[in-house]
Amino acid sequence: MRFRLVLVLSSIAIAAAPLAARQAPKGAAPSQPAPAAAAVKPLAFAVDKLWPMPLPNHWVYGSITGLAIDSRDHVFVATRPGSVAAGNEAGLMSNPPTAEYCCLAAPPILEFDAAGKLVASWGEPSKDKAYDWPVSTGGIAVDDKGNIWITAAGVPEPAAAAAGATGVVPGAARAGGAAAPAAAAAGRGRGETVIPGAEGAPVAPAGRGNAGPPAPADAHILKFTRDGKFLMQIGKAGATGPRDSKTTLDKPADVFIDNAASELYVADGGANQRVVVFDATTGAFKRQWTGHGGEFQRISSITVSKDGLVYVGDRKGNRVQVFKKDGTFAKELEVAKGTTANGSVWDVGLSNDAKQSWLFVADGQNSTVRVFNRDTLAPAGTIGDGGRWPGRFYAVNNLAMDSKGNLFTGEGYEGKRVQKFVKK
Amino acid sequence: MLKKLSLAIFAAAFVVLTVPTTGAQSDLVMAPKFEVDPDFPKELPKHWVTGMSVGVAVDEQDHVWMVHRPPTISPNERGADQEPPTGECCMSAPPVMEFDQTGTLLRRWGGQVAGAPYEWPLSNHGLWIDKKGIVWIGANHNQDSHILKFTKDGKFLAQYGKAGAATNSNDPVNFGSPAKIMIDDTRNEAYIADGYRNKRVVVIDTETGARKRAWGAYGNVPDDASLGRYVPGEKPTQQFRGPVHCAMLSADDLVYVCDRQSNRVQVFTREGKFVSEMIIAPKTGGDGSIWDIAFSKDPAQKWMFIADGKNERVYIVDRKKMEMVSSFGDGGRQPGQWFGAHSIAIDSKGNLYTVETYEGRRLQKFVYKGEQMVPRWQGVPWPVKK
């Protein structure tokens, strides 16, 4: 998917926030053991607090659902305009507007150059019904021709226990400035849960269709040129099939392009919870498999290493399962296994050294990026912690790495940021 | 419908694009310039996260204090202090926090303590530190009818008013969801923007809490009848629509009152005699445009800085002329942007601090760069990237 490789990192060890320094609060899930004092040369990431540049036009981000980086180190962001609360954040979107100067939801697909300048933005329903624009975008990938693949991941499901409540004190919501939930939990990526009805209720600018019945549920993948010209669709909105269907999908969460084999790996969500592989040229079904030793609890992400291993993030299973390309199970990594609520594995990614020595896991429930030795699966550190200031996370949901080894993150829920962590 | 909305949004974007908000060269004006300091404050320890952040103040040592609302942090975000925990992160930071000029967290405290002789607010709102170093805290839950005084160490000193006891804007004792407190240190008077439920300014004695005087819009006897939603172009209402969100005394003894959802500042003498008013962003609906005020640090307080958490700007107003000269900031989650720019304060060097409610939830510092020729809208005030 999003890890563009090339640069060689001899070794890594994350200085930003060593695991040992992350003290587990009372009764919390036990921390991973501290990394062994092996001869790993520390590699530090430092957040670039001024990347990307401010968006133009008083645009604000929706929840980030996908990140991908192309061969020019341009960063493609999939975001959900429907998660922006028209009521108090995007007054220019209300009808009539409730603000004079700010704000509007940014379009769903944003392209930044390496300097962080927005160079393109697109994404809207097809004027001639050539494709089904997603109700909600999910993962995004860019292939070696620079084409963009997007999953239609669906509006988040109803809330799980404890998830999504705003904790607002009843009665405090008078006159707006108090505690209006601001669609607090609305809008996260990739099959997350939200308060029923909170998701994009005021506006869904990127939604599909006209007035009338609700848009058919997301169940497909779209391919566009990098400037938004439609090329191909796999699956059809509203059309789900059996779990072994060769033509239908169900709220696919993520995609990865294997350029050499011209294969498209899909983390197929909803009721399917499977990995499915298509011919990336024709869109024809090739093979599929489900979780090893138990179904995927909530498949979130997929990436394939250069040495032919498929890493599948199982968000609510708190695990990464590793397979060969034919679906043969290889091994499994448990991640913060005491985590409940939305689970710990929101995205998986690999470092861009020749050996892809490091496996990254975006843990949006625990607000950190975890790093593991890809070979031994031993924990090697974490990056970041909870919070709204730069370098911190709320619902870190996506990972990508550029050719220089810089790490990029996207946040769901009300995090709604793209952040760059510069490799030191 | 979605498609129509989508079109409308992009049309709106186009309209915005065509407005020359950045100003032509000829439109430059002399006004204070600021740059956000993205490194302020330093990271919080202990996986602490903040809720809606609703009060900021600077003390006589230039330490920066903020107050936020722990109950507004979603269980999703504070998984480590759920019972049982749902994860390793995060936990709520204490509601009151003090930072030094380097952004280092110092004292922190707050919240109800069992058996304590005070009623901690159900919804925190507003913060002020007087010259004696007393911390004053307001509250805006509709059951919050009181204000609290603490030492900087969090030792309780006094409570004025009783929770749940609010009656109306002519109550001699209780408040009605008081939004902000400002202390006149020379006269030992507290100006209280009262508030969300009441619609008045009330002045009390800082030592006894005794009410001294109160007034409504235009100096009228306050009346709490609902005025309904603000309608652009409406005849100015003779009462505050509210929330009465700030009441700030200037060096020349004028009281500037934020009538937030009427998009207006009203100016009074200390005794409550109406002097003048100013409307900003008059088409603003919803939460309104006038959220909080800070005065510049020159002796004459030439400038007035108004935080607008709806349009996500700080307006720079010539205080004598009551004229908006420039503004800065925009919506967003990055440095120098806001989602719910709720409160504003200034330190002795003229640096500004803001906190955000809603989902912004940050304390930010804006470094004063002197008066310069600037556009009418300065945009997001980023430093030059190194």
Q: For residue A70, what are its two tokens?
A: 């192309």
How far apart are the CA of A13 and the nearest CA of chain B, in angstroms? Answer: 21
* Nearest chain B alpha carbon to A364: B77
Give the integer Cα–Cα distance in Å for A304 and A418.
23
Hey, CA dihedral for B73, B75, B78, B83, is it positive or negative?
positive
If you average pLDDT over every residue of chain A, what do you get? 82
Residue A195 φ/ψ, nearest 5 degrees? -65, 130
C-beta separation of B256 from B264 below 8 A: no
Residues of B in contact with A27 (CB under 8 A): 84-85
For residue A102, give the chain B residue with the closest CA. B311
Q: How far apart are CA A337 and CA A149, in angstroms?
A: 31
Q: Do B260 and A177 touch (CB under 8 A)?
A: yes
Identify the residue whose tokens are 């969500």.
Answer: A269
- Residue A136 CA to residue A376 CA, distance in Å, equals 36
* pLDDT of A207 above 70: no
- pLDDT tens for A93-146 read 998 999 999 999 999 999 999 999 999 999 999 999 999 999 999 999 999 999
Residues of chain B with C-beta less than 8 angstroms from the C-beta of A184: 72, 74, 359
Number of helical H runs and strand E runs in chain B: 1, 28
In this complex, do A179 and B281 lie within 8 Å of one another by their Cβ atoms?
Answer: no
Contact A105 B1 (CB under 8 A): no
* H or E element at residue B127: strand B124-129
Closest CA relative to residue A140, chosen from A415, A408, A420, A391: A408
Residue A185, pLDDT > 60, answer: no
pTM listed for this prediction: 0.88
pLDDT in tens, chain B (386 residues): 344 444 444 444 433 333 344 444 568 999 999 999 999 999 999 999 999 999 999 999 999 999 999 999 999 899 999 999 999 999 999 999 999 999 999 999 999 999 999 999 999 999 999 999 999 999 999 999 999 999 999 999 999 999 999 999 999 999 999 999 999 999 999 999 999 999 999 999 999 999 999 999 999 999 999 999 999 999 999 999 999 999 999 999 999 999 999 999 999 999 999 999 999 999 999 999 999 999 999 999 999 999 999 999 999 999 999 999 999 999 999 999 999 999 999 999 999 999 999 999 999 999 999 999 999 999 999 998 77
What is the model's pLDDT at position A215? Answer: 85
Q: Which of A94, A367, A388 sits opposite B89 (nearest CB)?
A: A367
**Residue A127 CB contacts under 8 Å (≥ 6 apart), including other chains:** none
**Cβ separation B77–A367 shorter than 8 A:** yes
Mutate: best of B15, B35, B77, B260, partner A, most A CBs <10 A: B77
Q: How many residues does chain B have?
A: 386
Residues of chain A with Cβ-Cβ distance to B85 below 8 Å are 25-29, 338
CA distance A82 to A125: 14
Is A179 within 8 Å of B77 when comparing Cβ atoms?
no
Say if residue A168's pLDDT is above 90: no
The dihedral through the CA atoms of A52, A56, A60, A64 has a sign that is: negative
DSSP lists the bridge partners of residue B308 as B313
Q: What confidence score (pLDDT) does residue A88 get?
A: 84
pLDDT for residue B154? 97
Span A55-83, pLDDT tens digits? 999 999 999 999 999 999 999 999 999 99
In chain A, % of residues over pLDDT 90: 73
Q: What is the pLDDT of residue A157?
A: 55
Nearest to B85 among A28, A98, A101 (CB): A28
Judging contacts by C-beta atoms under 8 Å, the chain A residues touching residue B141 are: 169, 171-172, 178
Find which of B86, B125, B231, B327 to mutate to test the A interface (most A CBs within 10 Å of its CB).
Answer: B86
| Confidence (pLDDT) at A41 | 52
User: Judging by DSSP bridges, how do beta strands A45-48 and B91-92 pair with one another?
Assistant: unpaired
Query: Is pLDDT above 70 for A194?
Result: no
Kindly indicate the confidence band of residue A155, based on its pLDDT and cuts at 50, 70 and 90: confident
Nearest to A168 among B1, B72, B309 (CB): B72
| Residue pLDDT, tens place only, A9-68 | 333 334 343 333 333 333 334 344 444 444 445 568 999 999 999 999 999 999 999 999
- State how far Cα A201 lies from the chain centre: 22
- Min Cα distance A107 → chain B (Å) is 9
Angle ∠(B329,B381,B305) on CA atoms, nearest 5: 55
- Residues of chain A with Cβ-Cβ distance to B9 below 8 Å are 81, 93, 104-105, 203, 205
DSSP structural state of residue A216: P
Substitution target from A32, A55, A58 for chain B, most B beta carbons within 10 A = A58
Which chain A residues have a beta carbon less than 8 Å from that of B197? 174
- How many residue contacts between A and B have a Cβ separation below 8 Å? 319
CB contact under 8 A, B141 and A178: yes
Chain B residues lying within 8 Å of A182, measured CB to CB = 339-340, 358-359
Q: Is B260 within 8 Å of A60 when comparing Cβ atoms? A: no
